[in-house]
Chain A
Amino acid sequence: MSNNKELIVRHKLIDRLCHWTIVFVGLVTFLTGFSFFFPSFQWLSGIVGTPQLAKIMHPFFGIVMVALLAVMLMRYYGHNKWNKYDLPWMKAVVWVLLQKEDNIPPVGHYNPGQKMLFRSFVIFVIAFIVTGIMMWQPYFAPMFAPETVNWATLIHSACGILMLIALVVHVWMACWIEGSITGMLYGKVSKAWARKHHPMMLEDHEDK
């Protein structure tokens, strides 16, 4: 028990740098994107200067964010494979939310909720890059039929909305599960934290 506060590594430096760059770049991408989507939030484009600049910047920031995210997703791919512990956890998801710890089956490095989020990110990344390029004026859009671009716009904005919802969930969870943000910030979590939230991750570590 004496090693309760002992810290173990959860996120490597490179991943943490990636993550927080994504957060920064994503902020710009999302806010500018939403300034186009919701006219009442056009003022959001002010974060990069003018609406015109926002339009120019958005896809570039988008590309950077998507690229970094792709890196991150690849690196975390291994952790996010579906396994036999996930189904029981999913069935107990209500207990998870209600914080009834005793009823929660153990999970590994990531719980299925995170894995689902991860999967949605994969889809979003692909959708954004594909539709985003099709919409990109004045460079690429003229190469596609207007109707196609129009549908791409619909999908792109729908993904924007869905991803934002997903991110709200992501941030909500991050804030709720205290210790995870510091984990993402400094890379380490305590064994106690791990035991509580990702017990089988600890096994990984102890195996070593």
Chain B
Amino acid sequence: MASQDIIRRSGTTDITPSAQARTGAVKEVTKLFDATKCTGCKACQVACSEWNDLRDEVGTFQGSYQNPMQLSPESWNIMQYHEVMDDNKLRWQFTHTACMHCADPACLKACSTGGAIVQHANGTVDFDSDKCIGCGYCASACPFNVPKISKTDNKAYKCTLCSDRLAVGLEPSCVKTCTVGALRFGTREDMLFYAEKRVAQLKERGHKNAGLYNPDGVGGTHYMMILHDINKPETYGMPADPVVPAATEIRQDWLKPLGTAGLLATAGFALMHRIAVGRNIVEEDQPGYVDAAAETEEDKQ
């Protein structure tokens, strides 16, 4: 993806985004997951590993169909499995779990390093491994607990929304592979339009609380989910009200300027003091002090 399509970079104090030659030419895109259609087949997991050349550990049974249990540098999406009782009826809910590509990405905000995280004009939030230093600020700031630091090369990894595929006009690998069309990909506009229709259809089919998960707290996301019950995102393993965490905002928006001011003030004060008060010399210790005194004595004599 051409660099002029980057609209936000991590670790920069620039206030205005860099110029964009093709303003408006790039449409925002969205990956849309329909939990009501998903069969939990994990093809998306495998497809992601295939495309991105990832091979996680072979784990062990953990009391669920879920495996691996967590996102990791070698697993950029995982399926979660939840047995939920709804109105005395069992629902087995599957969640395709990956980066949400937040419009207001906490990871990017928290990142220590210039350009290690960028947001493209199409809405994807992408990590640049070359620049990443592995500080993990993204990992701890992300309200969805997405980025993970590799023990092998000390860098942060997560779903890129297959930005390499998007750049050449392909859909993400997981979407391409999804067996039943539970994953879709398109412009944000189209996906919102489709989701609205689908949610209406689901309501008609008896899912009264069906809805679209596109949380405002992070400005909306470029990976959205259609859920059977929008009032209970926690039952899908998703936070009900994700926001850019306060600690991140305080650190980046308050501590930095205040800290700078504090440092400058102290240094400035020290300089002023030096100019105004000058050196604090113990005169007896000064070279020539004894001689001078002796001289005076001698002079007196």
Contact = CB atoms under 8 A, between A and B. Distances in A.
Partners in one complex: yes
Interface string B108-151: 00101110000000000000000111111101111001000111
A45 B135 CA distance: 13
**Which of B274, B284, B289 neighbours the largest number of chain A CB atoms within 10 Å of its CB?**
B284
Interface residues of A, number: 48
A9 to B, nearest CB: 16
Interface stretch (B27-35, B50-58, B185-193, B260-268): B260-268
B84 interface: no
B220 interface: no
Contact of B136 (A137, A151, A176): A137
A176 to B, nearest CB: 5
Interface residues of B, number: 50
Given A147-B140, A150-B141, A153-B251, A172 B270 contact: yes
B247 A150 contact: yes
Contacts of B266: 165, 168-169, 172
Contact of B282 (A97, A150, A190): A190
Contacts of A157: 251, 255, 259
Nearest to B271: A172
Contact of A141 (B139, B255, B256, B263): B139
Contacts of A103: none
A137 B133 CA distance: 10
Contacts of B201: none
Interface string B279-292: 11111110001100
Contacts of A122: none
A165 B150 contact: no
A55 B154 CA distance: 9
B237 interface: no
Given A153-B137, A161-B255, A168-B266, A97 B11 contact: no
B154 A54 contact: no
Nearest to A177: B280
A179 interface: yes
Contact of A55 (B133, B251, B262): B133
Contacts of B154: 52, 55-56, 137-138
Interface in A76-99: 97-99
30 contacts: A4-B284, A5-B290, A37-B112, A39-B114, A40-B13, A51-B131, A51-B133, A52-B154, A135-B135, A135-B140, A137-B139, A137-B149, A138-B150, A146-B141, A147-B140, A149-B139, A150-B247, A153-B137, A153-B140, A154-B248, A154-B250, A157-B255, A161-B255, A165-B263, A169-B266, A172-B270, A175-B274, A176-B277, A178-B281, A193-B285
Given A147-B140, A150-B247, 9 more contacts: A38-B260, A42-B113, A51-B131, A138-B151, A150-B140, A153-B140, A157-B259, A168-B263, A168-B267
Closest 7 CB pairs of A and B: A137-B136, A192-B284, A161-B259, A39-B11, A149-B140, A172-B270, A55-B133
Interface of A: 4-5, 36-40, 42, 45, 51-52, 54-56, 97-99, 135, 137-138, 141-142, 146-147, 149-151, 153-154, 157-158, 161-162, 164-165, 168-169, 172, 175-179, 190, 192-193, 196-197
Interface of B: 11-13, 110, 112-114, 131-137, 139-142, 145, 149-151, 154, 245, 247-248, 250-251, 255-256, 259-260, 262-263, 266-267, 270, 273-274, 277-285, 289-290
